[in-house]
Amino acid sequence: MDRGELQEILDRNRPFAKLGNTADYIPELAYADPDQIGLTIASPDGKITSVGDCETPFTLQSISKVINLLVAVLDNGPDQVFSKVGMESSGEPFNSVSELESKPENRPLNPLINAGAIAVSSMIHGNNVEEQYERVCQFISGIIGRDNLEYDEKVFQSEILTGDRNRSLAYFMKSTGVIDTNVEKALELYFRLCSIKVTCSDLAKIGLFLSTGGRSQGQVVHKNLPRAVKISLSIMLTAGMYNESGETLLRSGIPAKSGVSGGILAAPPHEMGIGIIGPAINGKGNSVAGLKILEDISSKYRLHIFDK
């Protein structure tokens, strides 16, 4: 991967950050630097190429939903997971209450909107939140090759204090049987997983893992991983950017997942892993500059799935 080319893509799209704002509905996220822009590519030969500010960590936020889905599918099998959560994309915001109420059996439309992710988190195996959290961290550590993962306590507390919309989604799902465990524990796990601190290079490594069908250093570490990865990539493609997923599919054509911290994880099949950070987000919760960078990378390296 040519560093100069990546730097050029980054610099060209830097001004788009001015069109977005840091998330403020989670107060602690509002303190992020809106001008931070970073990009990392992880290549199949193991090479990591970073440009921009890739050192400053940020929280996974909704990108954690991809990992939660993988672990829950490995733990329960896809049939059990998708008996509680749907597979369709959504035209509503990621935290929509009305959508949840209006759908058949009140099942969340997919595992990547908040309701779906909270329900999926509740299905992760473990005797308590600590054990569930540790299992997800071990899964991530195995992919990114470092075991010092931690969550951002301030962001976590900020979500606990202000996450009443998520709480309403979760209690509603409890009332309809989608969640059949302790609601507060399910929320605590979900908030903790959203608050895990990562860098662009961590995201790029997770992207590479997904793009190669769940291989770590060339090995499939769990026999059911290829199927779980295929499920996750499919839903990332159709729903990873919420109510901007259709446009992202047209423009970039790469399975990707955003977080309100401004991170984007992208996994062009069989090609590479991509990690992007740009905390200035648009009204749909996606990094403004990040989406532009993704589009440019897709076009430069012909990564759109229908360019093949």
Interaction site with ligand DON (CB under 6 A)? 61-62, 94-95, 114, 159, 166, 194, 258-260, 285-286
Q: Tell me the closest approach of the beta carbon of residue 117 to ligand DON, in angstroms.
A: 8
Residue 118 CA to residue 20 CA, distance in Å, equals 27
Q: Tell me the closest approach of the beta carbon of residue 63 to ligand DON, in angstroms.
A: 7
Q: Which is nearer to ligand DON, 66 or 228 (CB)?
A: 66
Residue 59 CA to residue 42 CA, distance in Å, equals 20
User: Which residue among the candidates 178, 183, 260, 288 is catalytic per the annotation?
Assistant: 260
Decide if 120 is catalytic.
no
Q: Tell me the closest approach of the beta carbon of residue 50 to ligand DON, in angstroms.
A: 22
User: Which residue among the candidates 122, 178, 232, 242 is catalytic per the annotation?
Assistant: 242
Q: Which is nearer to ligand DON, 116 or 285 (CB)?
A: 285
Q: Which is nearer to ligand DON, 208 or 260 (CB)?
A: 260
DSSP E strand boundaries for the chain: 38-42, 48-52, 58-59, 197-198, 215-216, 219-220, 256-258, 263-266, 273-277
Q: Tell me the closest approach of the beta carbon of residue 223 to ligand DON, in angstroms.
A: 31
Q: Tell me the closest approach of the beta carbon of residue 306 to ligand DON, in angstroms.
A: 25
Decide if 122 is catalytic.
no
Q: Which is nearer to ligand DON, 154 or 227 (CB)?
A: 154
Long-range contacts of 99-108 (CB under 8 A, 24+ apart): 100/169, 100/172, 100/173, 101/172, 105/176, 105/178, 106/172, 106/173, 106/176, 106/178, 107/178, 108/84, 108/173, 108/178
Strand partners, 49: 41
User: Which residue among the candidates 66, 84, 89, 190 is catalytic per the annotation?
Assistant: 190
Q: Which is nearer to ligand DON, 159 or 202 (CB)?
A: 159
For residue 226, with 0-12 CB atoms within 10 Å meaning exposed, 13-18 middle and 19 or more buried, which class applies?
A: middle
Retrieve residue 6's tokens: 């990546």
Q: Please state at what angle helix 164-175 crosses helix 114-121, rounded to 10 degrees.
A: 60
Decide if 298 is catalytic.
no
Q: Are 50 and 2 in contact (CB under 8 A)?
A: no
Residue whose pair of structure tokens reads 């959560």 in the numeric block: 85
Q: Are 290 and 264 in contact (CB under 8 A)?
A: yes
Q: Which is nearer to ligand DON, 95 or 132 (CB)?
A: 95
**Structure letter (DSSP) for residue 103:** S
Q: How many helices (H) and strands (E) does the chain have?
A: 13, 9
Q: Tell me the closest approach of the beta carbon of residue 65 to ligand DON, in angstroms.
A: 8
Decide if 260 is catalytic.
yes
Q: Which is nearer to ligand DON, 268 or 290 (CB)?
A: 290
User: Which residue among the candidates 65, 84, 257, 292 is catalytic per the annotation?
Assistant: 65
Decide if 97 is catalytic.
no
Q: Tell me the closest approach of the beta carbon of residue 215 to ligand DON, in angstroms.
A: 27
**Structure letter (DSSP) for residue 196:** B
Catalytically active residues, by annotation: 62, 65, 190, 242, 260
